[in-house]
Amino acid sequence: MATMTAYHLEPFNGKTDFSIWQQKMKGILIQQKVYKAIDPEAYAEDVSAAKRKEDDEYAYSSIILNLSDAVLRKCGKLDTAKLLWEKLQELYTETSLPSKMFLLEKFFRFKLDLNKDLDGNLDVFTKLIQDIKLTGDKNIDDYTPIVLLNAIPDDYADVRSAIKYGRDKITLETVISGLKSKELDLKAYKGTKPNGGEVMHVGGRSKTRYRNHMGNNGDNSRSKYIGNRTCYNCGEKGHYKADCPHPKEDKYKRDNTLLTEQSNNATDLLENYDDVF
């Protein structure tokens, strides 16, 4: 007698991935040792009719308990696990020629999306392969390595070249391994980039210069930076014109004073040069 084992499977509602649900449901039936109920020809000839009926009841109940009400209504009232399983495949597996052509077109035009990580891209690629197999195509595995190799963008042309040349045979695992190595290299490179040298752009202008003066010490670094500035009002260092403690001087008088000082300094320098010569 089959033993019911505790498990959790989201009921199939007709909108989620049927192939994934089907694989999980198959695993549950195998775990319960009643999977042969959906394929009676797999039974040995000496298996009794009572045993077959018991397995079918367990398999049938397991399947319907993992279907939503809407899906059950579409299936209608069926008496055996085999008929129910076949009806689900008929409803949710596209086997028509237009559907197969559409999937094949997506497959051969597949490109890696650089906005996603490698696992996300491979998940999309693998699902596409599974959908094509459900249409009855059994030879799709022969093309998967080449299609994934051609899906590598030109930015990673070095990876494509490393995989393509110097090998007698290219497998899907070889291509995936090469892509994972590239992804690890990129992560390691990003980890070595210094955070302090980041350039912040606001309104198209770089604030790197200001950050270098400010540093990470707040007002102390700012005070050190201000200490080298000359006040445009009094000519002293250590503060800005807006913070100047002296009375506001006449601009022209101040400029004349500065020019006089500069002229006297130049005269002194010339006299010193004359003494040296």
Q: What is the DSSP string of 77-110?
A: --SSHHHHHHHHHHHH---SHHHHHHHHHHHHT-
Identify the DSSP state of 205.
E
Give pTM, 2 decimals: 0.47
Residue 63 contacts by C-beta under 8 Å, 6 or more apart in sequence?
A: 25, 29, 81, 84, 85, 88
pLDDT of amino acid 203: 31
Residues of the chain falling short of pLDDT 70 = 1-7, 190-229, 232, 248-277
Q: Are 82 and 38 in contact (CB under 8 A)?
A: yes
How distant is the alpha carbon of residue 46 from its chain centre?
Answer: 54
Tell me the C-alpha distance between 269 and 274, whole Å. Answer: 9
Q: How far is CA 44 from CA 35, 49, 84, in A?
A: 14, 11, 22
Amino acid code (one letter) for 62: S
User: Quick one: CA torsion of 180, 183, 187, 192, rounded to 10 degrees?
Assistant: 100
Between helix 18-31 and helix 49-64 the angle, nearest 10°, is: 140
pLDDT of amino acid 59: 95
Q: Are 135 and 95 in contact (CB under 8 A)?
A: yes
Tell me the C-alpha distance between 253 and 265, whole Å. Answer: 18
Q: How many Cβ atoms sit within 10 Å of the Cβ of residue 104?
A: 16
Task: Report the candidate in 85, 74, 100, 75 with the shortest Cα–Cα distance to residue 23.
Answer: 85
By three-state DSSP, how is residue 201 classified?
Answer: strand
pLDDT of amino acid 258: 52
Q: Are 58 and 64 in contact (CB under 8 A)?
A: no
Handedness of CA 156, 186, 141, 136 (dihedral sign): negative
pLDDT of amino acid 137: 83
